[in-house]
Amino acid sequence: MHFDLQTIWAILVTILVAGYVVTDGFDLGVGILHPFVAKTDIERRVNINAIGPVWDGNEVWFITAGGAAFAAFPELYAALFSSLYIALFVVLLALIYRAVSFEFRSKEESEGWRKFWDQSIFWSSLIVALLIGVAIGNILAGLPIINSHIKGDILHGFVYAEKFPMSFINLVNPFVFHGLFGLLVGVTTVLFIIMHGVSWLLWKTEGSIAERARSIGLKVWLPFVIMYVICTGLAYTISFKVKNPELAKKYLELPPDMFQQIASMLDSNGVLHHALFRFPVIEIALIVLAALCAVGWLIAVKNANGASAFLFSTLTFLFAGFAVMFGAYPLAVPSSIALEHSITIYNGASSHLTLTVMLIAAIIFTPIVIAYQAWVYKMFLFKISPESIKREIEEAAEH
């Protein structure tokens, strides 16, 4: 692995995406668990208050990751947001609707009104988690993108080959490999998000809500492990065809030794097998560590230790996420049409000057943002119970 500016920024963008999943992931999980762990209006208020001070701030990671990808890898940003346009638009609508649901729920006291917004919190959280997983799965399996420069078009960069509505339908089409793989990764993501939400509720709440969350977590763990094994196994069956090695060498813009390593993995038909297994020692280590952390999560949940469960669910995703990054490296978005049309962290990156200036800014401001968010979490890291909510209601009534 080359530790050049492109690689550094690939790691930084991966960290930002991981930061979004880890922080917004638990409140998405709480949203999915909302109808199942909270049975009364007081309990539902406990559930919402458990994430109330932080859920909107957590979404800043999503915006930051998108902004960093746009600045550091503009070709990647353009290709992803055009090829996954409908899916990402639905994610955006779901995030907006979710925010509206949190705010509007308390505006009326009628049971029907609050029940409607409670269901809205559930569905919007589920859609976001599912579609993010579907998008990740489709990217790993390869998107039908074409590098228009290869065809002599100097005005356009990477172009998505499919048109609406097939561009969205094929993302979730279970009868083609990338659609099926995307759905499987989507389901795995939802199961992980639920586990992460369980961790947070065990940490932040007590009584019947925490106990119901613990019970759900114990039931979800085995399906998650099974899906994790299936997705990991399928990921290492992915292969890409190299139609023209000379074009690949020119347009992938990889360092010579890196291209030679990939070229040495091609079979006699020009097919790159096990495309996500170029660093076997690192890959196996990360996959095993993710699995061990999942086991640690199960033990922590059985012991009702919310803090440990949250740590283990966070580490589970981080190890699995970096396994994906190392597996795909240096490919950012593989092309299912031919490997030479793929976006790498080199042919999709900004100029050396842009990456340098951004890195300086990131070194200065990122610690400040992390310190501020850590302070916010510390301020609000206390247990919430139905009794505390009742006391707040009584105090408000007195005033």
**289 found inside a domain:** no
Give every CB contact of residue 225 below 8 A, 6+ residues apart in sequence: 291, 294
- Is 80 exceeded by the pLDDT of residue 273? no
Is residue 367 very low, low, confident or very high in pLDDT (cuts 50, 70, 90)?
A: confident
**321 found inside a domain:** no
Q: What is the reported pLDDT for 82?
A: 80
**162 found inside a domain:** yes
Distance, C-alpha 323 to centroid of its chain: 13
* Cα angle 304, 99, 224; round to 5: 40
* Cα angle 30, 378, 304; round to 5: 50
Which phi and psi (to 5°) does residue 158 adopt? -95, 125
Separation of alpha carbons 254 and 272, rounded Å: 16
Separation of alpha carbons 35 and 194, rounded Å: 13
- Is 80 exceeded by the pLDDT of residue 276? no
Q: What is the reported pLDDT for 153?
A: 58
Give the residue carrying structure tokens 């200065």. 364
Is residue 319 very low, low, confident or very high in pLDDT (cuts 50, 70, 90)?
A: very high
Is residue 277 very low, low, confident or very high in pLDDT (cuts 50, 70, 90)?
A: low
Is residue 177 very low, low, confident or very high in pLDDT (cuts 50, 70, 90)?
A: confident
Separation of alpha carbons 110 and 270, rounded Å: 65
Looking at the 3D structure of the chain, how many domains does it have? Answer: 1
C-beta separation of 296 from 308 below 8 A: yes
Q: What is the reported pLDDT for 235?
A: 86
Give the residue carrying structure tokens 């930002």. 16
Is residue 279 very low, low, confident or very high in pLDDT (cuts 50, 70, 90)?
A: confident
Count Cβ atoms below 10 Å from residue 325 Cβ, excluding itself. 17
**122 found inside a domain:** yes
- Is 80 exceeded by the pLDDT of residue 161? no
What is the reported pTM?
A: 0.90
- Is 70 exceeded by the pLDDT of residue 252? yes
**285 found inside a domain:** no
- Is 80 exceeded by the pLDDT of residue 272? no
Mean pLDDT of the region 126-153 = 86
pLDDT tens digits, 6-51: 989 999 998 888 888 888 899 999 999 999 998 888 888 888 888 8
Q: What is the reported pLDDT for 314?
A: 95
**136 found inside a domain:** yes
Percent of the chain exceeding pLDDT 90 equals: 36
Q: Which residue range is the domain that position 149 belongs to?
A: 5-236+353-394
- Is 60 exceeded by the pLDDT of residue 155? no
Over the chain, what is the mean pLDDT?
Answer: 86
**35 found inside a domain:** yes
Short-list 177, 172, 162, 210, CA closest to 50: 210
